[in-house]
Chains A and B, each alone.
Chain A
Amino acid sequence: MRTLDYGTLAFWAFAATAVVPAFLVLVTRDVVRMAFWLLFSFAGFAGLYFLLGADFLALTQVMVYIGGILILILFGVMLTRRRDGGDSGIARDGAPRGSGLVVQGVTAAGLLGLLAAAVHTRTPWAVREAGEPAYTAAGLGDLLLTDFILPFEVASVVLLVALVGAAYIVRREPEEGE
């Protein structure tokens, strides 16, 4: 039995904060409440990053996910109204009813089984001794401009595509004669 030190305690606290609200997101029906729980889940992950000595990553997680993405989700939810969707007709499959369901069920079960196996199997982690918590932003910057410069640049292209696409999709058609 290991002694329960602060680090372990903090780990379990953050892990619970990350996982329990995530589960609540799944079972909640109200979208705004989902966002509320998601908030805590994100915060839990940020805490885990802190615990791992990744201070910059942790704050970025909070800033980007909580400060940006989640608030945009909320914004969208609050401004949209649930409308009864009709049937677009594209999912009308000719195959015998239920056959798709069986395949999907088997796939989902298989994936879950894989995940469970992954959790259960003892993973031979490449363990490194934890040093003094260091200031990581400078090292990250160095890596992004040397070893990982190509993915870093590609990330900007990804953002460009997302931006162009989002701008196109939400743009209102100009009125006649405009």
Chain B
Amino acid sequence: MEWISAGRFAELSHGFPGDLVAIAPEVALATAACAVLLLDLGLGGTRGRGGGVVAALAWVAAVVALHRVLGAVWPGAPLAAQLALDLGGVLVFGLMLAGAPNGWVGLVALVGTLYALELVLARSGDPAASLFRAMLVTDRFATFFKVVLLLGTAATILASSVYRPMEDRRVGEFHSVLLLATMGMFLMVGATDAVMVYMSIELVSIASFVLVAWPRGDRSAAEASLKYIVYSAVASGVMVYGLSLFYGMTGSTNLADLTRFTTRGQPEAGVVAIASFLVLAGFGYKMAMVPFHFWAPDVYQGAPTPVTAYLSVTSKAAGVAIFARFVHAFTGGPSGSLVDWTQVVAVLAALTMTLGNLAALWQGNLKRMLAYSSVAHVGYVLMGVAAWDAPQGAGLNAAAFYLLVYFLMNMGAFAVVLLVADQVGSEEVETYRGLGSRAPFTALAMSVFLIALIGLPPTAGFVGKFQLFAAAIDHVNGVGRHDLVWLAVVAGVNTAISVYYYMRVVKNMWLEHGEEGVREPAMGPPILGHLTVLMLLVPVLWLGVFFGRVAQAARSLSLY
């Protein structure tokens, strides 16, 4: 047998070094994950001898990374802005260190996240490229989602640093698994090969199971994780079956080959449609689309709150990204397929938002209610995906922008749930009675987040939803008919329904009084928690008014 000679190796691996540079953010995340794991292992999660030094270094590194992120977003920012951001970083990161003896672990993870963010932003202008023999692409669409993913991860790290049940545990493993899950989502949003799709989804899934089961010995977390595993196994099986059908028909795992095959208009359209449905079912599961949403309420309720927030935002975004990419692949040409994909996705969107909203009406547990609300929001986002071929790609752009907004408001709502549960020890809607008088800032923030989730001005939720509605209404099909107006109407009705359950919480907070006998929670603030909420609150309001720049960034998210 011949061994590969150096020359042959160079020939085989042609172009890989360049590809490695292109996946630098992924590599940064993986490196940070390993660093967190090893540092935590070596220093034992304490701030003993080496811990102090590492903590100080991480503090500096985090501030520097934040500074560089600003440089990448806003080149030539005025000195005042730079200084303000640095000071803010020093304050927030210092609070993270002061909050818990192992706070530095999260900080190290945060450094990795920010560094990856800078790398993503710095390369956001690069032309789209296909990497590693068409396994992965980096295009503007993927880049936008990566930014959302990293912001979500950073917010999760912040939130988990004020999550008390986490305090006395070894958090190194938590953060490294979190970073690797984010890395898996990075691969998901760019995957263009069936093998890559499957590997990345499995990476995200396994990491998610671990994160959900984090509070060891907690029955509900264990049950949630188990349910997640079972549903995930079924969904993966269905998806792989669909992919194997495609492989059997095309002899290739490549998405481009698949597109050529599905769009050439052939007599075997029936099988193609079936296989496409099976594949999409797998993605639908990841983003909790009806009818693959059953896991969401149980998992979201049982998981530790920061993990719930993380999954509801990032896992969903990655799922939507890969879903959109595949819908694009199945339809990206003169459609000879049996199925009108626009209408299929539209029906799924309508079902998803309706079922999610109706189920949310009945929930007494706030986390469970938010879980159903997150299902409903997938429906809204899918409205954009359905209209993906609206003029100037308005559909996908609206979906992407809405996911960014959704990250802000949903993460904010969960952060408040976390803070209140920390003080009161309950996540029931009833415990929010009279919160307005006891903790005005928290209650105010929650009200804003909920109003944004409804989609009312002057919040970012309104802007996002408006774009989605506009995309759906503007969408015209091949024969020039506005064929998604009905979906916009359904979404409007749904929004009206959702007002009820969101407003019930708001009403409890401001108009009701806490019952006698319920322990008055001292909302003496864990400052970092309130700062986290504030950091999410400001953009929700800001983007409600000055959305131009970000919405501009979300425009022209061309797929490779």
A residues at B contact (CB < 8 Å): 85-86, 88-96, 99-100, 103-104, 106-107, 110-111, 114-115, 117-118, 121-126, 128, 138, 142, 145-151, 154-155, 157-158, 160-162, 164-165, 167-169, 171, 173
Name the 10 nearest CB pairs between A and B, nearest first. A165-B210, A94-B362, A107-B291, A126-B251, A88-B220, A90-B302, A88-B219, A150-B132, A124-B268, A90-B220
Q: Are A123 and B363 in contact (CB under 8 A)?
A: no
- Find chain A residues with CB under 8 A from B1 CB: 138
- Find chain B residues with CB under 8 A from A154 CB: 184, 187, 196, 199-200, 203
Chain A nearest CB from B145 CB (Å) reads 18
Q: Are B238 and A118 in contact (CB under 8 A)?
A: no
Decide if B376 is an interface residue (CB 8 Å cutoff): no
- Binding site secondary structure of chain B: helix
Contact residues, B239-282 vs A (CB, 8 A): 241, 245, 248-251, 266-268, 270-271, 274-275, 277-278, 281
Partner of A168, one of B136, B170, B277: B170
- Find chain B residues with CB under 8 A from A121 CB: 270-271, 274
Q: Are B302 and A124 in contact (CB under 8 A)?
A: no
Q: Are A158 and B203 in contact (CB under 8 A)?
A: yes
CA distance A27 to B173 in the complex (A): 39
B residues at A contact (CB < 8 Å): 1, 4, 12-13, 16, 30, 37, 131-133, 135-136, 170, 173, 176-177, 180-181, 183-184, 187, 193, 195-196, 199-200, 202-203, 206-207, 209-210, 213-214, 216-217, 219-220, 222-224, 238, 241, 245, 248-251, 266-268, 270-271, 274-275, 277-278, 281, 290-292, 294, 297-298, 301-302, 355, 358-359, 361-365, 368
A168: nearest chain-B partner, CB-CB: B173
Q: Are B203 and A161 in contact (CB under 8 A)?
A: yes
- Find chain A residues with CB under 8 A from B217 CB: 173
B176: nearest chain-A partner, CB-CB: A164
CA distance A93 to B372 in the complex (A): 11
Chain B nearest CB from A118 CB (Å) reads 5
- Find chain B residues with CB under 8 A from A169 CB: 210, 213, 216
Partner of B220, one of A89, A148, A165, A171: A89
Given contacts A107-B292, A111-B238, A118-B271, contact A88 B180 (CB under 8 A): no
- Find chain A residues with CB under 8 A from B206 CB: 158, 161-162, 165
Chain A nearest CB from B205 CB (Å) reads 9
